[in-house]
């Protein structure tokens, strides 16, 4: 229960149910729903201090993380809010002379190194009452909402830097980020896209139809032909479900095959990742019970056949792609390598909130 509040507990249970049954689909929609839930908590829940609010947010993050371990975006939004609460509280408590000094080194490496040093208080009790805290947090959440809304557009603006004329691009399945990215390439640049269909859902056909309407040459291939086509490919551009703390991916099933083939032929692999998909968790179980989802095999192996009674078939939803197979991440602001993920995580989340359990 969310700090004894039955109303918000019911709302959170409804959010979890909607995600599980597919009523809320897509990373953006899920993160937007979680953001709206947290905004209601700030506006309507009975809290007076930052510590009380952080307890409610942390409990909500624990609940969604336990109920939906594969949807890291929900917990990421809660972690982001916890970081903002800490920053706003510290700023309201900071003396005026220290505020000017802090503004001068706001984005410096020195601040990141010394933020928990003996020169600054490492811990705060967050128990003091601040009237302006609620309003400041609402303004910050509105900024995050705008950031989410513009994430795909900001990614697409960088398309001209990475896609050039006469290139052959390979992608996997359907991704809104990849779709908008490829459509944003200047029209005078002629390139071709090869799309692995990503069976059994075969969502690659959706992307091919969408690109065809934009007059972009595209070819759909079966997943078994990925290795055969890779020798002709100039670069691989894919989306991802989330980025783990070590720079690895939780991506659509088939992404590991694509990355391995690209590594063999020395083809660069570019991953489009909005910042809200960055998650400070690791792959801790190679058996993947908590990492993966298993879908229906009906389209491949119908339930009413004799063979289905004698074999066990699995249809995993995700692949783990290790960071050594990734060449470049493209975020909403710039590009970075897997080695730089740790720095971005330290900027987005507080270390105390990495493990919400």
- CATH of region 158-348: 3.40.50.10470
What pLDDT, on the 0 to 100 scale, is given for residue 117? Answer: 42
Which helix (H) or strand (E) element contains residue 284? none
Question: May I ask the CATH class of domain 6-114+123-153?
Answer: mainly alpha
Could you tell me the strand order of the sheet in which 249-252 lies?
Answer: 242-243, 249-252, 318-321
Range(s) of the chain covered by CATH 3.40.50.10470: 158-348
Distance CA 347, CA 345 (A): 5
Question: Contacts from 128-132 at CB under 8 Å and sequence distance 24+?
Answer: 128/49, 128/50, 128/89, 128/93, 129/48, 129/49, 130/50, 130/89, 130/92, 132/92
Q: What is the pLDDT of residue 186?
A: 92
CATH code 1.20.120.420 region(s) in the chain: 6-114+123-153
Query: According to the model, what pLDDT value does residue 111 have?
Result: 52
163 CB burial (10 A radius; 0-12, 13-18, 19+): buried
Question: What's the pLDDT score for residue 201?
Answer: 85
**Mutual orientation of helices 27-44 and 6-20 as an angle, nearest 10°?**
180
Q: Which two tokens stand for residue 347?
A: 């900027």
Measured distance CA(318)–CA(282) in Å, rounded: 15
- Write out the chain's pLDDT in tens, 357 residues: 565 577 788 999 999 999 998 899 888 899 999 999 999 999 888 888 888 899 999 999 999 998 988 888 999 999 999 999 998 888 887 765 455 555 555 545 555 554 544 444 445 677 777 778 888 898 888 888 898 888 889 999 999 999 999 999 999 999 999 999 999 999 999 999 999 999 888 899 999 999 999 999 999 999 999 999 999 999 999 999 999 999 999 999 999 999 999 999 999 999 999 988 999 988 766 555 667 778 778 878 888 888 888 888 888 888 999 999 999 999 988 899 999 999 999 999 999 898 876
pLDDT at 99: 52
């Amino acid at each position: 229960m969310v700090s004894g509040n039955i109303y918000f507990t019911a709302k959170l249970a409804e959010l979890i149910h909607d995600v599980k049954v597919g009523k809320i689909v897509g990373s953006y929609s899920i993160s937007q729903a979680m953001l709206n839930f947290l905004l209601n908590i700030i506006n309507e829940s009975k809290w007076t201090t930052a510590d009380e609010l952080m307890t409610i947010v942390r409990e909500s993050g624990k609940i969604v993380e336990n109920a939906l371990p594969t949807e890291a975006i929900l917990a990421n939004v809660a972690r982001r809010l916890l970081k903002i609460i800490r920053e706003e509280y510290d700023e309201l408590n900071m003396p005026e002379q220290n505020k000017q000094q802090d503004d001068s080194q706001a984005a410096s490496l020195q601040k990141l190194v010394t933020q928990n040093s003996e020169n600054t208080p490492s811990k705060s009790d967050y128990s003091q009452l601040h009237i302006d805290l609620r309003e400041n947090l609402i303004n910050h959440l509105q900024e995050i909402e705008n950031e989410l809304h513009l994430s795909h557009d900001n990614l697409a603006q960088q398309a001209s830097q990475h896609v050039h004329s006469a290139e052959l691009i390979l992608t996997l399945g359907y991704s809104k980020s990849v779709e908008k990215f490829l459509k944003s390439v200047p029209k005078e640049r002629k390139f071709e896209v090869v799309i692995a269909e990503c069976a059994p859902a075969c969502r690659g056909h959706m992307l091919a139809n969408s690109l065809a309407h934009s007059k972009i040459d595209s070819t759909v291939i079966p997943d078994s032909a990925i290795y055969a086509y890779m020798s002709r490919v100039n670069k691989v551009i894919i989306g991802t479900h989330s980025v783990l703390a070590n720079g690895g991916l939780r991506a659509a099933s088939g992404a590991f095959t694509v990355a391995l083939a690209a590594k063999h032929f020395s083809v660069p692999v570019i991953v489009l990742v909005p910042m809200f998909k960055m998650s400070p968790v690791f792959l801790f179980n190679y058996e993947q019970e908590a990492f993966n989802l298993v879908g229906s095999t009906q389209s491949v192996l119908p339930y009413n056949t004799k063979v289905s009674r004698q074999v066990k078939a699995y249809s995993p939803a995700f692949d783990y792609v290790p960071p050594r197979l990734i060449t470049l991440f493209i975020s909403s602001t710039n590009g970075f390598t897997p080695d730089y993920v740790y720095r971005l995580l330290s900027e987005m989340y507080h270390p105390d909130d990495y493990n919400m359990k």
